[in-house]
Structures are given as structure tokens and as C-alpha cells.
Amino acid sequence: MGENGHQKPARAVQRSMSPILSVQTRHIPSIVRLALFVHAGGRCEFDGCNRYLLEHPLTLTEGNFAEVAHVVAFRPDGPRGKQRLRPSNINDLGNLMLLCPDCHKLIDEHPSDYTRRALEEFKSRHERRVRHVTGLGPGQKTSILAVLAPIGKQNVALPFDHVIEAVSPRYPVSRHGTRVDLTQLPGEAGSFLAVAVDTVRTRVARLLEPGGEAEQTGHLSLFALGPIPLLVFLGSELSNKVPVDVYQRHRDKENWTWKESGDPVEFEFRRLRVGSDRSRVSLVLSLSGAINLQSLPSEIDGTFSIYELTLKRATPNPTFLRIRRDLEIFRTTYQEALGAIVLEHGSGGSLHLFPAVPAPVAVLCGRELLPKAHPELRVYDFDAAKGGFQFQLTVNNHDN
């Protein structure tokens, strides 16, 4: 009825009954937020970040430190907001990413670098990985062994996120694993190596003892950096009863994940010199760099036969080891080289080893030795201050 008691025109009635258009708000329903956290595994979805967002990164205090970001901005004038096909529901799960505050700020301040297509790919790849890893069965467990020693004056960190990424599709049975931190040992070369060897021997024995973590999981993942002779010794202490995966720290990405593509390397084993004494033999590993025979100590004289294992049709370089297959090919070639040396020179003496190799190769040099079947290794290391290789330690000693 109108103000005067008369009936309103029909046109006015129809206008008052027309549907009200829904207005989207920034409110994200709780169920959508929950689904996003589950799909992201509670981690930042920015490619390469993977930060765990339910604890403070420094104090480890539990809490929600995540931010929910829109791929296509809530407002058309926001980051990536001017899209030809905007989502019909801007708060749809497919248009949301779980991010740490730093990555959220980065993508919104540089939308031309982090496009809708790029962010959707980041999100998809991350969520596929989370779903895959969380679906793994108990047979994919692994025990983590990290042995970190300073190289020169440089210490290298091993973030747990890097471990998770590297061992996938396996997963660590515990967050801490066995960590052998040698960075605080005395800096003098002689005292450092002696203490480091004792520490490694004790900690590895404890890890591999009956009922230990490695026996329970039946698998070991090794992350190791340090002086090459120490890594050779480490390899000799690892039992062949437990399968071991060895990981390489890659300089380009500064992570430990093996590359997934690339042609495998080839190796070449050859004899460089025939010595006058059959019992005296040395092996030069020219892989990370070429070794000049002039840098060998004077004791490696004309009585010694000298063999070399090097890259085939490639210049020795520090970054040659890229894919897991490269390490397996080295393992086979090294075993064949040891077999050829034993056949020619016997197994009762010493093999003088001069390595220019990456860390995983050094570990295999010790681990692939067979007691009594192979000679003991006298391991040398290059000392620039002294102008050549210096003897460091012996492994596979037949008297032990």
C-alpha cells in the first residue's frame, strides 16, 4: 500500500522482488582454509621454499605462521587481478596458495615475474609432491646420517627441508637422525683428523649397532661434507648389511637433490706408468680436477706403477656429478679398477690413493673396499701450502 492507502503500481512491486546480486568478500570459509593447509602439508607452496608454517623458524614455537594468498587478486586492480578469465569464486581452493609472509610479499610486489600461470604451476607441483609423500608406506623409511666438517674455513648447513626433498620418495624415520657435527673440532690438520676419525667411528658404530635406528629402518641416507680422507674413512665404516644412498650437495641450487635429467658421465681407467716393483702401486682419481703427477710426493718414484681413473671425453671438473646414475657408474668402474689392480699386483700390499673427487665418490672409495680381498688404502690429500699431496690416513688395514 502507498502512503495514502492506495495500492502500488505493479511495476514497483516487480522491482522490489528482483534478485539481489551476491557480493564476494575476503572471508574464506574454514573448510576451504583447512583443505588448503592439508593439500600444502602445512608448508609454503612457493617453488623451492617449502618452509614449515606451523612453527616459528627460529624458536620452533608452535603456531600458525602461514598466510593465504590469492593467485588472481581479490580486486581487479590487485596483483594478477586483470585476467581475461577471472575465477567465478575468487576464494575457490584452486585460486589460493599457502605461503610464508616473505614469499607472499615477493609474489605480490613482483606480479610480472610471478604470473598466474607460474603460481598455479608452483601450487600444483607442491601439492602433488605432498600427496605423494604422505601416501608412502612404511617400506620407504630411511635413517638419516649427516656428517659435516669444515672445508677450509667454510661451514655448510643442512636444512631439514633439503633432507626431505632429497630423500623423496623415502622419508626420514626421525627429524633429527644422526648428526655428526665436526665443525667445532680443533682447526689444526693433524689434531682435527685424529679426533674426527674417532668421532665418526664411534657415532657410526652406535647407529649401526643391533637395535639401532639404521637396523630398524633397513636403509640409510648419507649427507656428508668434509676433508676427502675423512670421507673415505667414513665410507669404510659403513656396513654393507644396510643399503646406503649417498647424496651430493649441488653448487648451482645449493641443495642435495639429485638432478632428474641429463646424460650420465663415462669414466676411463688406465695405467699411466709401469713401475719396477710389482708390490708398489698408486691410483690417481682425476675427477673434480686434473692431477699433475708432479704434485705426488717424492716417495712415489719409479718403483711405483701409477693408474688413473678419470672422466672419459670430458675435462675433470667439480660439477660433473649431477644424477644418481653417475655415482652408480663410478661404483662399478671403481670396483673393476680395484679388481684389475689386485689381479696385477696382489691384495696384500698398499694402494696409495690420490683423490680429486666430490664427497659422495670419496665415501664410495672407502665403502667399496672388501677386507682381505682388496689392499689397504693409504689416502693422501692435496695441501696447497705444501705444494702437493700429503699422506693422511690408512683404511682397510689388514692388521685390524
Phi, psi of 308 (to 5 degrees): -135, 135
Count of Cβ atoms closer than 10 Å to residue 239 Cβ: 14
In 3D space, the residue among 363, 279, 281, 271 whose CA is nearest the CA of residue 308 turns out to be 271
Domain residue ranges in the chain? 30-134, 139-247, 267-395
Q: Which fold has domain 267-395?
A: Leucine Aminopeptidase, subunit E; domain 1 (3.40.220)
CA 111 vs CA 68, 78, 96, 105, 107: distances in Å: 16, 9, 15, 10, 6
pLDDT digits (tens, 9 = 90+) for 330-356: 999 999 999 999 999 999 899 999 999
pLDDT digits (tens, 9 = 90+) for 39-55: 999 999 999 999 999 99
Across the range 270-286, mean pLDDT stands at 97
Least confident of 5-14, 315-324, 361-370: 5-14
In 3D space, the residue among 192, 187, 176, 188 whose CA is nearest the CA of residue 233 turns out to be 192
pLDDT digits (tens, 9 = 90+) for 69-115: 999 998 899 999 888 889 989 999 999 999 999 999 999 999 999 99
CA 80 vs CA 36, 93, 177, 183, 335: distances in Å: 20, 17, 43, 46, 56
CATH architecture for the domain at 139-247: 3-Layer(aba) Sandwich (3.40)
pLDDT at 140 (0 to 100): 84
pLDDT, the chain, mean: 89
The confidence band for 19, taking pLDDT boundaries of 50, 70 and 90, is very low
DSSP 88-141: SSTT-GGGEEEE-HHHHHHHHH-TTTS-HHHHHHHHHHHHHHHHHHHT--GGGE
Please give the residue that has the higher pLDDT: either 147 or 133: 147
pLDDT digits (tens, 9 = 90+) for 155-182: 677 888 899 889 988 888 887 889 999 9
pLDDT at 153 (0 to 100): 65
Across the range 195-224, mean pLDDT stands at 92
Amino acid identity, residue 26?
R
Nearest-angstrom CA–CA distance, 37 and 98:
7
pLDDT at 189 (0 to 100): 52
Crossing angle (nearest 10°) for helices 324-345 and 359-367 = 40
Percent of the chain with pLDDT strictly greater than 70: 90
- pLDDT exceeds 90 at position 230: yes
pLDDT at 146 (0 to 100): 96
Report the 3 state secondary structure along 269-338. Answer: EEEEECCCCCCCEEEEEECCCCCCHHHCCCCCCCCCEEEEEEECCCCCCCCCCCEHHHHHHHHHHHHHHH
